[in-house]
Amino acid sequence: MKRSRSSNAWLREHVSDSYVQRAKAEGYRSRAAYKLLQIDDREHLIRPGDLVVDLGASPGGWSQVVAKRQQGRGRVIAVDILPMEQLPGVVFLPGDFRETEVLERLRGLLKQERAGLVLCDMSPNISGISLCDQAQGMHLAELALDFASQWLQPEGCLLVKVFQGLGFDDFLVRMRQTFRLVCLRKPDASRDRSREVYLLGRGLRA
């Protein structure tokens, strides 16, 4: 099948992208790794000894960053509906985080331990219908927030990707109701034209 002009343009941009080239040179699985690296350099979210849960982890760029920075001191549990090749120091749970069965299996892996950090870089399958895609993206963020509110340590953090648009303001209100401190971050590795931003919540409210 012949590629469309838009897909060809995306492919050319992707191949020439400096972060794509850096990821290949430095051994990271995706350019997304640099988004977490840049945020963590500023916020110091990844702490040795913590349990970290990475929702929507495939292909593993964020889990890879966490495992490297923890240097074997801590646990990383990665969840995704897509397959992910094994990473040292990372337990991968295949399945759809939206399904109750997968959530129960995740709870079993937690072994009653509360996480120091929950990461969510999930995106919906893009349909091209902007209102539908936005709603699905916000739903994924809400599920991550619900999980974090139940399984974070009192001083733990949630870093979640959201897309600016319908539902964003309401979700920001929920974040502020859940965490004592909430801030917005857009790392340099996030493309300028993208509506994606990252909300960081620190410290659960009582």
Q: Is 62 annotated as a binding residue?
A: yes
60 is in an annotated binding site: yes
**Is 54 annotated to bind ligand?**
no
| Catalytic site includes residue 161 | yes
DSSP string, 25-57: HHT-S-TTHHHHHHHHHHH----TT-EEEEET-
Block residue for tokens 């949630």: 158
Contact of 52 with 119, CB cutoff 8 Å: yes
The CB density around residue 35, as the number of other CB atoms within 10 Å, is: 25
Beta bridge pairs of residue 52: 76, 117
Q: How many CB atoms lie within 10 A of CB 163?
A: 20
- Whole-number Cα distances in Å, 194 to 37, 187, 198: 19, 12, 12
Residue 17 is labelled as binding a ligand: no
Which segments of the chain are extended strands (E)? 51-55, 75-80, 90-94, 115-120, 152-163, 179-185, 196-204
- The structure tokens listed for 28 are 């990271």
Pairwise CA distance, residues 92 & 80, whole Å: 8
| Cα–Cα dist 204/11, whole Å | 41
Judge if the upstream peptide bond of residue 154 is cis by omega within 30 degrees of 0. no
Name the catalytic one among 2, 24, 68, 161.
161
Whether 121 has a binding-site annotation, put simply, is yes
Annotated binding-site positions: 60, 62, 80, 96, 121
Could you give the residue numbers annotated as active site? 161
Annotated binding-site positions for S-adenosyl-L-methionine: 60, 62, 80, 96, 121
